Amino acid sequence: MTPLRPPSLLDRRLVIVTGKGGTGKTTVAAALAVAAAGAGRRVLLAEVGRDEQIPSRFAPGSPPAGYAGREVHPGVTAMRIDPFEALGEYLALQLGMSAPVGLVLRNRAFRQLMEAAPGWRELITLGKIWHLEQMQTSPARPRWDLIVVDAPATGHGVSFLSAPRVVVSALRAGPLRRHAAQVEALVEDPVRTALLPVALAEELPVRETEELVRNARNEVGISVDRVVVNAMLPRPFPPGLEDLDERLRRLPEGAPLGALPPASVLAACAGHLRARWDLHERWARTLAESIGLPCVRLPYLAEGVEGPASLAALGAALLAGSPSEAA
Amino acid sequence: MSASKFARACLLRPRIAVCVGSGGVGKTTVAAALALEAARSGRRALVLTIDPARRLADALGVAALGNQPEELPRAALAALGVPPQGGLSAMMLDMKRTFDDLVDRFADSPETRARILANPIYQHVSEALAGSVEYSAMEKVYELDAQRAYDLIVVDTPPSQHALDFLEAPQRLVEFLDSRIVHMLIHPAFVAGRLGFRLFQRGARRVLQILERVSGIGFLEDVSEFLLAFEGMSEGFRQRANGVRALLLGPETAFVLVAGAGRDSVQQALELRQRLAGFGASLTGVLVNRVRIWPGGGPPPDLAGAEGSLGALAAALAASEGAGFPAQAAAKAALGAAAGYAAFVRRDARETAALRSAVEKQGGYWGAIPELSGDVHDLAGLAQVARAIFGSQADPGKEALHAG
């Protein structure tokens, strides 16, 4: 099955980027934000982890953006959604509590108590995202055209998103149910929202991504219309020379090659590149077949991705990404 | 001391080796390879994993791993050079089960035990108090170590952003149980006190009540119930936690840091190293996994002037492949591949240089495990990783590059 090309990510209001640790999820989220800003969108780039990572992707050593947020690139505002700050804001805004809330939420023991309570962090974080999505500068003009969320590493990825659904099904009435239902509607709206999983073309990340996509469909009902396969190695040899490493291995050892390394070293280098490339191709194909979705391939960048220029290049590749390379 | 002897001294000498590192670096594989190497040197080794994926079970060739050590078939081990006195067992930690066992041990009555296990807050508390999950792994290690059935226990810790939470978890849990808010919730009537605290108390109760009202969950009641039941266990738990901590920070335990060669991974490893030092834990070795190494070792040669020799390579290829083979294009592609791979090798060396010099300056072991051509999914693959760490007759770098 050759899946059709999905609609542009730029036409969504909310893109939630998720993936196993080490797949480059944060970099992909930042690259998407830069590309969207380049296309004229006002972008909010929100992360939810304990340690803020995004500002330093734009400029090494830059200070955290925090809950208030800070513009890290023209058109891109970064922020970190802290669940306790969001809880304080929610309680103050929605329930008319003010003075004691701050005192209570800053207390270490109370925080520990809240750490023991299930589900509220995910719910309040998604609630804050919903609130940000609803913000308007003038009637009919949203404050943020696109919100890109760097979600927690998978494992927590889907339970993070299912919190509103769980609350809605558990409660019969009340303000919390009403609010959770609004959040659920945003998460499950395929026009406004998409989940963007980031994988590597290796066994473990591919297996995890398959499970993530399955759970996203069955347990959350969020739209997933493509998957990013990050850090793909380039084809090592030109067409017609696919078995170059084997040919090099057949050269007699000690063949005079001038300033070149010995034939066995040339063969080893070529063999290694080919083996890793084969592995990438095999797992990228396995993933595409098992989930039946387009896989956008992003190149392996040996020098890493740091700073707006390299993020922009990666973002352009992400938006232009073809579903799969011609074999 | 030779490099492989030094590796053995740093990585395998103590009774317990704790592998730490961020997610996705191959920690489980490295832990299993360390245990296999210990078995090969005639010791009874156990690898304890927390990875729920079936990969380790598959790689070790056992049907399934459970909460009890599973001994690997002797024939398979003998084929890899494990002598009769050596042995290798593996188990997968069931963290919920381990925590339940802990409640079992310290509950003062069967009623208390039943109340705790049935409490909805209990279902979450082991996970939610950050590090408790990791702590339960260490609890199991403590128990297994006390039995002295193994010469070496290799622990594969959970991948987490805060991989060292388990060192703090016991203290945090005890602190939490002792904290004023807990007493206030359990015995509100006994709380006398200062105005600030009363104000706080009112605020906390109000926040909780509102959470209850909007959520419809008996949150306050469940928490009080749980804490009340747990209260009697506090002392036993505290003593046990101190024992676990002493074992982890004592001379029997070595921490082995596993990292990847990427920039983020190296950065996280440097931070983890700092934090381990802060705890007073003994970090004896750092293994960087999946490093690209030049065939035969050493730095890659400068290939800038090699263009001029393409004619010689093309001639050699034409001679061995015969007419009709595009020898010119092949020679060019071969040089391109060598130059491309050389760039990868230099990059990995550059990215890991700071970590390497920091470790070596402190007299710790630093090892690079070459990137293998394929995935590790059987005992032979684990043996290959072990050889790459501890060396063998064959050059590990060369062997890895020709494998697959």
What does residue A73 show for φ and ψ, rounded to 5 degrees? -165, 150
B3 against B225, higher pLDDT: B3
Nearest chain A Cα distance for residue B149, angstroms: 33
Looking at residue B192, its pLDDT comes to 44
Say if A61 is an interface residue toward chain B (CB within 8 Å).
Answer: no
Task: Give the residue from B89, B90, B241 showing the smallest Cα distance to B176.
Answer: B241
A215 has a pLDDT exceeding 80:
yes
Q: What is the pLDDT of residue A245?
A: 96
Instruction: Check if B318 contacts A (Cβ < 8 Å).
Output: no
**Cβ contact A101–B371 (<8 Å):** no
Cβ-contact B255, B156 below 8 angstroms: no
Put simply, the chain B residues between 205 and 224 with a CB less than 8 A from any chain A CB are 206-207, 210-211, 213-216, 219, 223
Chain pair A-B, CB pairs under 8 angstroms: 216
pLDDT the model gives residue B202: 63
Q: Which of A74-83, A155-164, A194-203, B310-319 has the lowest mean pLDDT?
A: A155-164
Which residue among A104, A241, A265 places its CB closest to the CB of B295? A265
Spatial neighbors of B144 by CB under 8 A, at least 6 apart, are B46, B48, B69, B150, B153
- Element (H or E) spanning B129, and its range? none
> Which among B207, B213, B260 is the nearest to A22, CB-wise?
B260
State the pLDDT at residue A79.
98
Which pLDDT belongs to residue A45? 98
ipTM: 0.84
Q: What pLDDT is recorded for position A254?
A: 86
Q: Is the pLDDT of residue B112 over 60?
A: yes
Is the pLDDT assigned to residue B356 strictly greater than 50?
yes
3-state secondary structure of B365: strand
Helix (H, G, I), strand (E, B) or coil at A298: strand
Specify the pairing of strand A43-47 against strand A76-80. parallel
**Regarding predicted confidence, which is higher, A152 or B388?**
B388
With 70 as the cut, is the pLDDT of residue B100 above it?
yes
Q: Is the pLDDT of residue A146 over 60?
A: yes
Q: Does residue A158 contact residue A216 with C-beta atoms inside 8 Å?
A: yes
Lowest model confidence (mean pLDDT) among B54-58, B220-224, B277-281:
B220-224
More confident residue, B244 or A132: A132
Task: Give one DSSP letter per residue of B265-278, joined into a string.
Answer: HHHHHHHHHHHHHH
Q: What is the mean pLDDT of residues B98-109?
A: 75
pLDDT at B395: 38
Question: Which has more confidence, B362 or A224?
Answer: A224
pLDDT, mean of residues A186-191: 95
B309: which DSSP letter? G
| For residue B183, pLDDT beyond 80 | no
Check if the beta carbon of residue A133 is closer than 8 Å to that of residue A186.
yes
Both tokens of B326, joined, read 């595009």
The stretch A280-284 carries a mean pLDDT of 95
What is the predicted pLDDT for the residue at A99? 59
Please tell me which residue, A283 or A99, carries the higher pLDDT value.
A283
**Confidence check: pLDDT of A32 > 90:** yes
Instruction: List the alpha helices (DSSP H) in A222-302.
Output: 244-249, 263-291
Q: Could A103 and B326 be called an inter-chain contact, meaning their C-beta atoms sit closer than 8 Å?
A: no
Percent of chain A with pLDDT over 90: 59
Q: Taking residues A117-136, what's their average pLDDT?
A: 87
pLDDT tier at A156, thresholds 50, 70, 90: low
Q: What is the mean pLDDT of residues B231-256?
A: 81
Q: Are A198 and A232 in contact (CB under 8 A)?
A: no
Q: How far is B251 from chain A (nearest CA, A)?
A: 32
- Residue A302 has a pLDDT of 76
Cβ pair A110, B179 in contact under 8 A: no
B184-235: pLDDT as tens digits: 655 554 444 444 455 555 666 666 666 665 555 555 566 666 666 666 666 7
Inspect the interface and report whether the beta carbons of A258 and B308 lie closer than 8 Å. Answer: yes
* pLDDT 10s digits, A1-19: 445 567 789 999 999 999 8
Contact state of B347 with A302 under an 8 Å Cβ cutoff: yes
Mean pLDDT of chain B: 79
B277: pLDDT strictly greater than 80? yes
Give chain A positions within 8 Å (CB) of B179. Answer: 108-109, 112
Cα(B38)–Cα(B80) distance, integer angstroms: 12
Name the least confident of A306-315, A317-326, B52-61.
A317-326
How far is B352 from B200, CA to CA, in rounded Å?
A: 49
